[in-house]
Homo-oligomer: A and B are copies of this chain.
Amino acid sequence: MNVSGPSRAKRGIPPKSEFNKWYPAIVEIADLVDKRYPIKGMDVWKPYGLTAMGLIDSLARREMSRTGHHEYRFPLLVPEDLLDKENKLVSILKAARESGVDPSELRFDEEASGFKKEVYWVTHGGENKLEMPMFLRPTSETPMYTMFSLWVRSHADLPLKTFQIVNTFRYETKQTRSFIRVREIHFFEAHTVHADQTGADEQIEEDAEMVQRIMHDLCLPSLVSKRPVWDTFPGAWYTKAADVVMPNGRTLQVATYHHYKDQWANAFDLSYEDPEGNTKPCHQTTFGMSERLLGAVVGMHGDDKGLILPPAIAPIQVVVMPIAAHADSNVEPAARALAERLSASGIRVELDTRDVRPGVKHYDWEIKGVPIRIELGPRDLSAGKFILTLRTGSKSEISIDEAEVLESLEGLAEDLRQRAKSLVSDKVQPFPFDNLDYDASQESSIESGIVYQIAFEGNDSDAEFLEKKTGLTLLGECDDEFPEERNCLITGKATKKKQHIARMY
């Protein structure tokens, strides 16, 4: 791994307490991306960032393989006419929701243009105007379900469990931020087709479990909520999301899973023949994640010195540094042997033999968030003991033993989980008032960097009033409830329903 450039002191990392300055600086200083590409929101992935993202992809692939999903790759470009089905579906569901009708009772006969506003359009091939404009996929329901309706014929074809990891695009008009709000997105999407609602229900459970397994490896606690109906993915019956609380108190949606029931299937003529020969509509789910996972890792774990990467996705897990190698010719070979031994036991290791002061090396690897540093000098060599330093601070003496290093990596991961948990418990607080009847002079009690936990069982207009009054966004109903009843912040009714309100990214 090539490390170059000036040391941290010269690189000017802002303190992490100034998170909104620290984050955009560190993604470049740690060499994850280069933002100078001439289109905003389309960063260049540098090798270090790409490798970390690739390791996150590996976690997703591991879960997909464990649960019997298969990897596909669908085309990037989608002809405009395929959007018609999608738009009809979205508009009809929207109308249904607004009028309180169960959408699954309705037919699709209306057109909306929601998607058209968010996508990039390809209109020309060379100097020819295309007969049919095409758009760059924002997600792949449309291209996938077009094919699924060719693939699914009988109950024997179900369940169909697919995923892909691809570039997707959004015509983003808000301010862009590396990994968090970009225009070319490194995207993971799983799409499944089931014979009935129970199959889809079980898939949603499986998705929830996969998200938690991945979040465990990333050492990220999250709030899981069922999004309010107006924040449900277009065409979905309901949407669940995992949000990470960032150090500035804003929440970052990093994973969503959607239960489509048979709504999309009806729009795309996706049906199957059951064992009795009856034609039945399929039920579907999707599950999406993106490079936001890396953004959450960067934002949650880093400190004033740079990144701290969870071992599961650290491109380099251990850096081995020979010390005073010029004074003792045994040092470098011993360091190399140690690096090779660690590497043979599956640890991602880097031997840093650069001819620079140890302080410079420390700075460089701290910025990059390498979990473990092992220093090895003439005295250590004769003692057969070496200093192992965790990126989170603690030092210990070890013998050359792979098991001890693996244990230290797990120890660091557990450190990160505890630190993150404690940050979240600082940032998530009870709402300071029992109801919304506070006046303007009391508003200062509502802090901008805090996620508020509330009891809420109101309807859509209650929610609208809540968001307007607080200036915060409702994340949706939590999976867990309060242990005992409380009064709803708006209606005052007794309820165990827990929700959070926050500033969302």
A residues whose Cβ falls under 8 Å from a Cβ of B:
2, 4, 34, 36-39, 42-47, 50-51, 70-77, 79, 82, 116-128, 134, 136, 143, 146-147, 150-151, 156-157, 166-167, 169, 171, 173, 184
Q: Determine if B120 and A127 form an interchain contact, defined as CB atoms under 8 angstroms apart.
A: no
Q: Determine if A126 and B118 form an interchain contact, defined as CB atoms under 8 angstroms apart.
A: yes
A477 to B50, CA, bound (A): 39
* Known interface pairs A73-B44, A184-B76; A126-B117 also in contact (CB < 8 Å): yes
Report chain B residues within 8 Å CB of A166. 167
A146 nearest in chain B by CB position: B38
Report chain B residues within 8 Å CB of A150. 34, 36
6 residue pairs of the A-B complex, CB under 8 angstroms, read A38-B79, A39-B79, A42-B77, A76-B184, A120-B134, A121-B122
Report chain B residues within 8 Å CB of A125. 119-121, 171
A167 nearest in chain B by CB position: B76
Q: Determine if B126 and A116 form an interchain contact, defined as CB atoms under 8 angstroms apart.
A: yes
Q: Which residue from B4, B51, B75 sits with its C-beta under 8 Å from A184?
A: B75
Q: In angstroms, how far is the closest chain B Cβ from the Cβ of A333?
A: 22
Chain A interface mostly helix, strand, loop or mixed?
mixed
5 other contacts beyond A37-B147, A44-B72, with CB at 8 A cut-off? A36-B150, A37-B75, A42-B76, A45-B73, A167-B167
Copies of the chain in the assembly: 2
Report chain B residues within 8 Å CB of A77. 39, 42, 120, 184
A157 nearest in chain B by CB position: B4
A161 nearest in chain B by CB position: B2
Report chain B residues within 8 Å CB of A123. 121-124
A169 to B76, CA, bound (A): 10
Report chain B residues within 8 Å CB of A117. 126-127
A124 to B121, CA, bound (A): 5
Report chain B residues within 8 Å CB of A82. 38
Report chain B residues within 8 Å CB of A167. 76, 166-167
A73 to B32, CA, bound (A): 11
Q: Determine if A126 and B119 form an interchain contact, defined as CB atoms under 8 angstroms apart.
A: yes
A39 to B34, CA, bound (A): 34
Report chain B residues within 8 Å CB of A156. 4
Report chain B residues within 8 Å CB of A79. 38-39
* Known interface pairs A2-B70, A124-B123; A146-B37 also in contact (CB < 8 Å): yes
Q: In angstroms, how far is the closest chain B Cβ from the Cβ of A57?
A: 12
Report chain B residues within 8 Å CB of A71. 47, 50-51
A125 nearest in chain B by CB position: B171
Q: Which residue from B39, B47, B70, B136 sits with its C-beta under 8 Å from A70?
A: B47
Q: In angstroms, how far is the closest chain B Cβ from the Cβ of A282?
A: 17
Report chain B residues within 8 Å CB of A151. 34
A143 nearest in chain B by CB position: B37
A117 nearest in chain B by CB position: B126
Q: In angstroms, how far is the closest chain B Cβ from the Cβ of A141?
A: 14
Q: In angstroms, how far is the closest chain B Cβ from the Cβ of A324?
A: 25
* Known interface pairs A77-B39, A117-B127; A122-B136 also in contact (CB < 8 Å): yes
A184 to B125, CA, bound (A): 13
A117 to B126, CA, bound (A): 4
A42 to B140, CA, bound (A): 14
A126 nearest in chain B by CB position: B117
Report chain B residues within 8 Å CB of A136. 122
